[in-house]
Structure 1
Amino acid sequence: MQPPRCCCLLLLLYLFLLSGTWATLEGTFTVQLLQTSTFQNTSFVETEGLALLEDIEIATLDKHTRSIHFHQPWVHPALPHMDWDNIENMLRIYLLKISHLINEGAMEKDVPYPFVIQCRAGCELYPNRTSRTFAYVGYNGQDFLIFDSDNDTWTLSQDTDLSRYFLAYLKNHTAFSERVEVLFNNTCVDAMERFLTYGRAALERQELPVVTVFARTPSPQQLLLVCHVTAFYPRPISVAWLRDGQEVPPGPQLSTGPVLPNADLTYQLRSVLAVAPQDGHSYACRVRHRSLGTRSLLVPWGNSQLLLITALLAGLLGAAAVAALLLLAVWRRRKHQRVEESESRNSTLSKEA
């Protein structure tokens, strides 16, 4: 029996509207779930979970009730209530199974307690609507297992008794692997498309970078030029030093740190260039960022004190010019008043005579 034509048309219209809405967002997008489980002993496991869309915290998992708490107002309306119920149920089953599996392996392989298991899993959605899932498992901060999405298989990152036990279980118990695949593949991709629609404003948020250039002198023979860029969003940014208008190539004299988060959900970056004092070159820090469009921020260093003195002198000269004009106006007014008074006295004397 074929479905009614009206239902097919409505479905096509829904898919068209959904795809057309999120397709206006350019680039690759990632949803990832971060799980940290602390195994204190065989009977006590504490698990924390965080969900991210790009770098936006969208939800956390309550470690006591295993329920989802939403961090953005648009996250909960993005999916029907029934879908959230299904996701919570799948997460509870997954966490119960994975905790039981790890505890069994730890006891069988005499793994000492306490230890920490971390998992980072999710999906990437590309501009052409293709997707890729990923999953990484860590043990006490070290890589443990990796999911090969191209071959749908798990591989060892750390060859230990526990990792081999875990790998053998995943290969032998296909039902659990299929549940994980549904959670991190189909569910993840479907949910992301809705998040891209409802969270478009958050994803398109842009904050202009604030750039400061200053110098430090660790020794008389060395001058460190520092370009500090902060308050920008989104995260991708390009920072370069220019010497006499030409970009300084990578080398031991150039050190650019990682992009670090600020408390206000923006980012900061610092680039340091080592130069010889009074080497005769001009230097400038160039910043390119999405919020600037096709423009670049170019903040020069060098002759800063001269520029400051020039500005102060210009200000003083301007003030002196204004004062001179005021004095001239007062002098002219008083001269005009004296002339009028003199003419008035002469007129009075003439009348008396």
Structure 2
Amino acid sequence: MQLPRRCLLLLFLLYPFLLSGTWADLEEAFTLRLLQISTFQNTSFVDTEGLGLLEDIELGSLDKHTWKIHFHQPWVRPALPLSDWDMIENMIKIYLQKFNHMVNEGAMQKDVPYPFVVQCIAGCTLYPNKTSHAFARVAFNGQDFLTFCVDNATWLLSQDNELSRYVRDVLHKYTAFTELIQVLFNDTCIDDMEMLLHYGNVALARQELPVATVFARTPSPAQLLLVCRVTGFYPRSISVAWLQDGQEVPPGPAINTSAILPNADLTYQLRSVLAVAPRDGHSYACRVRHRSLGTRSLLIPWGSSELVLIAGLGAGLLAVVAMAAIMVLWLWRRRKHQQMEESGSRNSILSKEA
């Protein structure tokens, strides 16, 4: 399923917000995120886009004209009672009205030039031990601006300037708003996420195998760059390492690995580059570990990038090749036998005629 272009753009714009988390976090925890981009063209026109994500599964988006929720997964609406969705929509509308008014008022007070963009992300993370963590962050024109500390219900400055201090002080005056955030993301968010996890367990269990290739670039005669490109995998968590003569190359300046980036088909990709000396006498391979591979690894030797070896599957692959060879040999012999019988039959007929 392809993402709508508008939602895909929203994901790319907010992608730096989504990069937090380690291999263990993504394997063992689930995060519900609400993303918002509000473009303030002037004091009377604000263009707002919203997106809800469970991990990286798109749950729904906000209609920019009516502020109603459009569901993008068939199991999202049944996960909560209709009355809950009505309440959520009403709260969104009230929030956006107050948000737009507060931002415009602050812009006029501090002579902020239009247009400008405000990005927000808020949500909660549920861990296997049933503990949880709520979060809320605000960015202004693509730069981190404020962070909400749930523990003591305060807004912290991500950048210290007159505008950020003014907005922080205004938010601290809205004690009811702060209390609402705490209730929503400490209690309601977790309760709703547990229901979504139950209804969306099949989508969350989706796995796509990685496809990897290794190729080389030569920026100078004294340097060879080995590039391991891995793409098409899901879920996002993955481990990519370089092996030299079978031993893992430790992290260092010789290895440059990109961030994990999204593909348009809801899978992921990354690149890892290893700098080596040309003709140094060593063998190199790129090793990929991913949940879809189970306990196996994907191993791509340099110089054999078209050959993809999965450790642990060697015997199975050899068995398949052997069976195919036996079938081809059997078919060849059978055809040869038929040709010999037909030839003998023709010779017999000719001899009788003679």
Aligned to 1:153: 154
Residue 18 of structure 2 is matched in structure 1 by none
Conserved? CA contact 2:35–2:52, under 8 Å: yes
Residue segments in structure 2 that go unaligned for 5+ positions in a row: 1-25, 307-324
How far off its partner does 1:175 sit?
1.6
1:18 equivalent in structure 2: none
Is 2:72 the partner of 1:71?
yes
Q: Distance in 2 between matches of 1:34 and 1:124?
A: 15
State TM-score, norm by structure 1: 0.78
Residues 126-166 of structure 1 show CA distances to partners (whole Å, capped at 9, x for unaligned) of 11111111011111111211101122211122223332222
Q: Which residue of 2 aligns with 1:312?
A: none
Give the CA RMSD over aligned residues: 3.1
Alpha-carbon contact 2:229-2:272 (below 8 Å) kept:
yes
Q: Look up the match of 1:295.
A: 296
- Determine the C-alpha separation between the residues in 2 that align with 1:285 and 1:303: 11
Deviation sequence 1:299-320 (CA, Å, 0-9, x none): 2123789xxxxxxxxx9xx99x
In structure 1, runs of 5+ residues without a counterpart are 1-24, 306-314, 349-353
Q: Match of 2:55, as an amino acid?
A: E
Distance in 1 of aligned mates of 2:159 and 2:276? 44
What amino acid maps onto 2:57 in structure 1?
A: I
SS at match of 1:159: coil
- String of CA shifts for 1:221-280, please: whole Å, max 9, x gaps: 332222111111000001111111001112222221111111111111111222222221
Query: CA, structure 1 residues 26+244, in 2 after alignment: closer, same or farther (shift >3 Å)?
Result: closer
Question: What pairs with 1:85-100 in structure 2 (closer than 5 Å)?
Answer: 85-100=86-101
Residue 32 of structure 1, CA deviation: 0.8
In the alignment, which residue of structure 2 is the partner of 1:262?
Answer: 263
Aligned counterparts of 2:118 and 2:48: Cα–Cα separation in 1: 9
Contact 1:122 1:185 in 2 (8 A): no
SS in 2 for 1:146: strand
Give % identity.
69
Return the alpha-carbon distance in structure 1 between the equivalents of residues 130 and 238 of structure 2.
Answer: 25
Q: Deviations over 1:295-341 (max 9, x none)?
A: 11112123789xxxxxxxxx9xx99xx89x97xx97xx78xx69x96
Counting matched residue pairs gives: 305
Q: Output the CA distance in 1 between the equivalents of 2:47 and 2:249.
A: 50
Q: 1:63 to 1:144 in 2, by over 3 A?
A: same
- Deviation per residue, 1:53-104 (Å, 9 max, x gap): 1011111111110100111111111000000011111111111111111111
1:287-326 to 2 correspondences below 5 Å: 287-302=288-303
Distance 2:191 2:165 in 1: 32
Contact conserved, 1:227 with 1:270, CA < 8 A, in 2? Answer: yes
Distance 2:158 2:217 in 1: 43
Q: Secondary structure at the match of 1:51?
A: strand
How many angstroms apart in 1 are the aligned matches of 2:305 and 2:202?
40
Match of 1:59 in 2: 60
Corresponding residue SS for 2:155: strand
Question: Partner letter of residue 245 of structure 2?
Answer: D
Which residues of 2 match residues 184-333 of structure 1 at below 5 A? 184-302=185-303
Residue 126 of structure 2 is matched in structure 1 by 125
8 A Cα contact 2:32 2:124, kept in partner: yes
1:282–1:302: 8 Å Cα contact kept in structure 2? Answer: no
Q: In the alignment, residue 148 of structure 1 is paired with which amino acid?
A: C
Match of 1:311 in 2: none
Mapped partners of 2:291, 2:263: distance in 1: 18
For 1:186 and 1:30, locate their aligned partners in 2 and report how far apart those are by CA, in whole Å. 14
CA distance, structure 2, for counterparts of residue 108 and residue 275 of structure 1: 57
Asked if the contact 1:119/1:136 (under 8 Å) is kept, the reply is yes
Larger Rg, first or second structure (1 or 2): 1
Shift of 1:218: 3.1
Counting only pairs closer than 5 Å after superposition, residues 41-52 of structure 1 correspond to structure 2 as 41-52=42-53
Match of 2:164 in 1: 163
Paired with 1:214 and 1:43, the residues of 2 have a C-alpha distance of: 54
Q: How does 1:103-122 map to 2 (within 5 A)?
A: 103-122=104-123
CA separation in 1, counterparts of 2:188 and 2:116?
30
Secondary structure (helix, strand or coil) at the match of 2:239 reads strand
Cα contact 1:26–1:127 (8 A) shared by 2:
no
Deviation at 1:26? 6.4
The residue number in structure 2 matching 1:9 is: none
Distance of 1:235 and 1:219 partners within structure 2: 34
Q: 2:208 & 2:51 partners in 1: Cα distance? A: 25
Give a deviation string over 1:188-242, Cα, whole Å, max 9, x none.
Answer: 1111011100010111101111121222333333322221111110000011111
| Distance (Å, rounded) in 1 between the aligned partners of 2:226 and 2:164 | 48
- 2:38 aligns with 37
Q: What SS does structure 1 have at the residue aligned with 2:28?
A: coil
Contact 2:60–2:69 under 8 Å retained in 1: yes
Q: Distance in 2 between matches of 1:68 and 1:184?
A: 19
